[in-house]
Copies of this chain bind each other. A is one copy, B any other.
Amino acid sequence: MVFTTAEIEYLAEHSLGRLATIRPDGAPQVQPVAFWLNADTGTIAIGGPALTRSQKFRNVQADPRVSFVVDDQSETPNPLGQTGRGMEVRGEVEIVTLDRPLIDAFSPETLHIHPRRIITWNIEEFGPASPGRLPHLQGFNFRDISS
């Protein structure tokens, strides 16, 4: 499984994230997007109305590398008093044409993010302190996903 149980639960509770792509000149672009988790295949699907006419579509056609973040404020602070929590997924986009779009208003063309690195903060149970780590990063976890 690409995602942990805690990550799947967190993503299932959220419908909006922010997707960063690379523009033709190498500069970044970031926008809010709705997303659908496909836990079985370990991918995150993103669509849109007239998606193929958007700059983000042209961006991922030229360079499939993206970063996608979902985050919010927890009602329960962690032991350090922090309420921020979330996940950043770095990966590569595969453009998939669906038989039926994610929702009726969307184009059938859909972006599927294949995670290569997953970084989370305050999503998993708060473990013992990591001595070498900065205090504000104690709640962080990250791992690489082999393709």
Contacts of A63 in B (CB 8 A): 26
Chain B residue nearest to A84 in the complex (CB): B32
Contacts of A71 in B (CB 8 A): 18, 32
Docked complex Cα distance between A66 and B23 (Å) = 11
Chain B residue nearest to A28 in the complex (CB): B20
| Size of A's binding interface in residues, CB under 8 A | 30
Copies of this polypeptide in the complex:
2
Assess the B134–A50 pair: CB atoms within 8 A: yes
Chain B residue nearest to A69 in the complex (CB): B30
Report the minimal beta-carbon distance from A32 to chain B, rounded to whole angstroms: 5
Contacts of A49 in B (CB 8 A): 134-136
Report the minimal beta-carbon distance from A26 to chain B, rounded to whole angstroms: 6
Additional A-B contact list (6), CB under 8 Å, known A18-B71, A28-B66, A32-B86: A18-B18, A18-B69, A22-B28, A26-B63, A28-B28, A32-B69
